[in-house]
Amino acid sequence: MIELLALGAFLLFGLLMAGAVLKLVFWLVFLPLRIAGTLIVLPLMAIGLALKVVVGVLMLPLLAVAGLVALVGLGVAAVLAILVPLVPIALACLAVWGLVKVLSRLAVVPR
């Protein structure tokens, strides 16, 4: 019984080695074609990179302005987030001040 298990393991190892050798052979056969393809595509990749750099340089001022606008907007939002919860307290203080001002007047003006 153990012989069948060993035979299966040897068969699997043999198939894996044959696959590895076949992969290596195909890789070596197609290596010149891969190198030639890379050399053909390399100038196109350089043109693509140059276009990306040009577009990036052209977009930089627009993105800088958009970032500045976003930064100002976030600053305004942060200030409002701090001040809006204080509105009820400010209204209560205003009401108390108004009541004190109205009630502190003398009913009769002395001569």
From CA 66, how far away is CA 10, in angstroms rounded? 66
From CA 71, how far away is CA 79, in angstroms rounded? 12
**How confident is the prediction along the chain (111 residues), in pLDDT tens digits per residue?**
888 888 889 899 999 999 999 999 999 999 999 999 999 999 999 999 999 999 999 999 999 999 999 999 999 999 999 999 999 999 999 999 999 988 887 766 666
Q: Give this prediction's pTM.
A: 0.48
